[in-house]
Amino acid sequence: MARALAGMSNGRAAVPVVICRADNQVTGDPLWTGSQPRIARGDGWRTALDALFAAILALMLLARWVAERSGEATTRIGEPAPPQHCRRGSTVLFLGAPAPWVVANMLGNHVLA
């Protein structure tokens, strides 16, 4: 993270990009993944946990978009990420995220109920 922060020269973009990197790389994935077992407990398809899952997903996509638009987007290892890399990652996240949500809800509401 320090290496990625060292290359920032634009003071205006630095704070949003740092927040986006923290959301996308540090908090987003664990929260998103951690919500799955709780959703699988089976309280229905539209619960507060389902809304939390959707909110985390939306924040992760927003973080990727802000980082890409700032021109400071990097990969997880700190290398500059071209726009195609950011778009591909966002597309995979957007299209792939419903699968674990559906599986968790199917398990909790139908299989384990």
Alpha helix (H) ranges present in 1-113?
A: 2-6, 11-21, 28-39, 48-70, 83-96, 98-106
pLDDT, mean of residues 41-67: 83
pLDDT-based confidence at 17, cuts 50/70/90? low
C-alpha closest to that of 58 among 22, 97, 88 = 97
Which of the pair, 13 or 59, is modelled with greater confidence? Answer: 59
pLDDT, mean of residues 58-76: 81
Distance between CA 83 and CA 56 in Å, rounded? 22
pLDDT, mean of residues 38-57: 82
Which of the pair, 9 or 105, is modelled with greater confidence? Answer: 105
pLDDT at 4 over 60: no
Residue 75, burial from CB neighbour count under 10 angstroms (0-12, 13-18, 19+):
middle
Q: What local confidence, expressed as pLDDT, does residue 113 receive?
A: 65
Buried b (16+ CB within 10 A) or exposed e, 39-59: bbebeeeebebbeebeebbeb
The pLDDT mean for the chain works out to: 76
Domain residue ranges in the chain: 2-111
